[in-house]
Structure 1
């Protein structure tokens, strides 16, 4: 059997220089014969000790150069912004980062998947830690006592901003493949839109908005745990949705439309090409047809997390089936009080009294892809199960095949009939 030699990995100074110093040290510390006991030879132990001391300093990296004080105010000058090393090179706080956010289950994952399909963009999975560091900084700021303690300790705004921005850059750039444009999708980051806009002056934000009734139904039915949301109460969850979306709406409006774009999930689903052209123009990105076919790049360019609740859905193409699943699921008393429970519905352009609502007529490509999802439900189900760690949460394909006469002819094409409740909604789009 042929022996394979595995080279050792050596950390620290060059081994060659270490061997040379060791040889010199051995020569200087050899026993001195009486015939050679001159002054020079008697000084050899002293010289050996001096060399040994210098060698120790060399190994430990001790430097006798004066300490340099970094002027943090230089961050205000973009020409002198500190560069932070990332996997693909150098990224700094003036880089044009993209942040996607909104209340969970509002289409943030679909948005990031469509952008991930673009050749110049990489979003990747949720990091989960970026909202936490932003929340920690926000908690410090809200506590007058804690903030005063930090200021007294010299941990001033510039120091905190420098640390937070460096942390965020390393997480975004380091948790996936290199790209020309980096994007982050952590839904709750948009609660800090103003602050992120301050520390990343060239960043842009996509605020995903969805009918709160659909969002809450999705949260409850898919058992998505969110702090403060009681999954046993539609009323309480709608109230929490209203509070959260109101905060994000104010933050987005505060930085202005040139920095933050509001995107309605329903419009993105019904008219994907129109919406994506507007979004890419807003982000200063060239048009790329692949953003309309993200499902073809799942598992290739588009990385997925098996633990995210939306993973099994974005393996499918854009389709209509998720728009109105909430219809008929919300308790009657909550439906009657909807306008007062969630006033942000009206602010965002939704009719709180429409049940079901008419979101509009879909593009032909969306109808075609929806029919494909229904007709080939078993195949899409297998793809969805393969990308999650809990197959039980994946919707079963037989949900589309309960009615008699599964397939009908429409314009010489086979179209799978949806359940009766879904057909009622589909009729709204076709009128």
Structure 2
């Protein structure tokens, strides 16, 4: 009895050591399993769709997706139309739901109480990300004809560019920049309903433009110039050839002259939605008409305080005091297309009203 009682502490120690070892070993195994699971989760976003495979290309979140965005009425539809004219690219119409699922995800993720409830339900960041990827992949691949390079044009996706850049590590982003005065004038005159913009208050719209473009710019700069490119609408209009060459080089897409003649492919390779307010404009060739329409149509009180109302104007290289502004001299081919647009105004007007959201918004030709 004496010998057994003396050995009891020894056996207890051995037993305790074994338990601790098992606990430690289990934690190592769990960590390895979780790490392995995290590596696999992004691939869960692969599509359950027959179009997910095209010419030996499998579309998933490692595909080199293209995301085009910017403040609405900043040339995003023009850019996607020019990209759609390229035989290797398909963007398609705005989905509208991709920015919304990203917005909903942010509400879940950044509400501490709600996120804690979600975690308690066993839904981790990795699981949610995999679900978001699967959703986006199926929308992008499924809503149009397949092509070697797929892109998405939903203006507000660029507010979540940093998050998207992590979900899609090989993706690239185009942020369209336009003079905020022109953007807001277009929003207000066309009565484009956008969350956060009070169409009856020009100053508030300029302030909102400033906030949105600053957010997108910061997202773009965080990703870095190798992943996100700033494209100025004015340069795209004035110098479409050199601008698009830079864009295609950035995207690793070979040059094709079709991007300079997108108007020839409307209704064929390029589909437009008459619910998008820019459709009646992009049906026309690249032209100079829209560059300075805002001049003379901005309230005097806003003009006097433009630098304070929208400091991003100066930051982005625009002169907030210039009225009218000087954006540069247009290339010869742009002058020719603008002249043709005016000479054959009735023809282009008839094309525009076929895809217009509101035919009364389409400017009637000044020339025959």
Give TM-score, length-normalised by structure 1: 0.75
Contact 1:78 1:94 in 2 (8 A): no
Aligned to 2:185: 217
- Deviation digits for residues 241-286 of structure 1 (CA, Å, limit 9, x no counterpart): 0000010000000000000000000000000000000000000100
Aligned to 1:85: 48
For structure 2, which runs of at least 5 residues remain unmatched after alignment?
Answer: 1-32
User: Greater helix percent: which structure?
Assistant: 2
2-side partners of 1:79 and 1:397: how far apart? 52
Contact 1:87 1:173 in 2 (8 A): no
- Whether 2:81 is the aligned partner of 1:113: answer yes
2:47 aligns to what SS in structure 1?
strand
Counterpart among 114, 118, 133 of residue 101 in structure 2: 133
Aligned to 1:171: 139
Give TM-score, length-normalised by structure 2: 0.87
Q: Relative CO higher for 1 or 2, CA cutoff 8 Å, sep ≥ 6?
A: 2
Counterpart among 345, 354, 357 of residue 386 in structure 1: 354
Which of the two has higher C-alpha Rg? Answer: 1
What is the count of residue pairs matched by the alignment?
331
CA shift, 1:141, in A, is 1.7
1-side partners of 2:66 and 2:237: how far apart? 21
CA shift, 1:390, in A, is 2.6
- Deviation digits for residues 363-404 of structure 1 (CA, Å, limit 9, x no counterpart): 000000001111111110000011235311211113xx5xxx
Aligned to 1:285: 253
Counterpart among 254, 263, 274 of residue 242 in structure 2: 274
Which residues of 2 match residues 6-21 of structure 1 at below 5 A?
none
CA shift, 1:306, in A, is 1.0
Q: 1:338 to 1:79 in 2, by over 3 A?
A: closer
Q: 1:142 to 1:80 in 2, by over 3 A?
A: closer
Aligned to 1:409: none
- Deviation digits for residues 182-240 of structure 1 (CA, Å, limit 9, x no counterpart): 00000000000000001110010000000000000000011100011111111010000
Counterpart among 197, 200, 216 of residue 229 in structure 1: 197
Counterpart among 347, 354, 359 of residue 315 in structure 2: 347
Q: 1:87 to 1:394 in 2, by over 3 A?
A: farther
- Whether 2:334 is the aligned partner of 1:366: answer yes
